[in-house]
Amino acid sequence: MFRILSLGLLLLVTAPAQAADCQLCPLKKDKDKAESANPRRVLRIEVDSMLDFSSIAIRTQGSGAVEVDSHSGTRRVSGGLIGLGGPALRGTVRVTGEPFARIAIRLPASLELRAISGATARISQIETTLSPDPVIGANGELTFSFGGRMTVSDGQAGEFQGRFPISAEYQ
């Protein structure tokens, strides 16, 4: 039996890139004055729930996959694996910052998980419920969910864990 007990999320919040100083640019000086008079709130990322594929067992020889849908949280098991019950959870994240601000959020395209035994599994096809151009709401929050596909190769078993970096910055 193998199970992903927790997918620890390493959260990286990056500040927006600063423009190079231009001593001869009056427009930039006016923009700098406006920004210092009205600074943006610091972006914060909080994890409300971690991605959890629940308990799975190897049914036959060969590899298999488990998917958790980012919208519904539904789990699908395929290949040589079988679900043993228990709740699968999609990951949910809350970003807080300046109301109505556009932001860019980055998640990894794939991620390797490891068990204490050295066995590995891979999460890929990571999808979110984010719109193509995310905007923080009037309440200063943006909440989204994510899911993905965990693939396990033949003979790999254990309690798989890994870190899932998320970054956000103002646009």
Task: Say how far apart CA 99 and CA 167 lie, in whole Å.
Answer: 18
Burial bucket for residue 108 (CB in 10 Å: 0-12, 13-18, 19+):
middle
Residue range 32-82, pLDDT digits in tens: 554 554 567 899 999 998 888 888 887 777 788 999 999 999 999 998 888
Domain limits, the chain: 43-170
Confidence at residue 2, expressed as pLDDT on a 0 to 100 scale: 34
Beta-carbon count within 10 A of 52 CB:
20
Query: Is residue 14 pLDDT above 50, yes or no?
Result: no
What percentage of the chain has pLDDT greater than the value 90? 46
Instruction: Return the higher-pLDDT residue of 26 and 149.
Output: 149
CATH code of the region 43-170: 2.60.40
Report which of 46, 17, 34, 57 is spatially closest to residue 152, judged by C-alpha positions: 57
Confidence of residue 163 (pLDDT cuts 50, 70, 90): confident
Specify the pTM: 0.74
Q: What is the mean pLDDT of residues 94-110?
A: 95
Residue range 117-146, pLDDT digits in tens: 888 899 999 999 999 999 999 999 999 999
Instruction: Return the higher-pLDDT residue of 154 and 26.
Output: 154
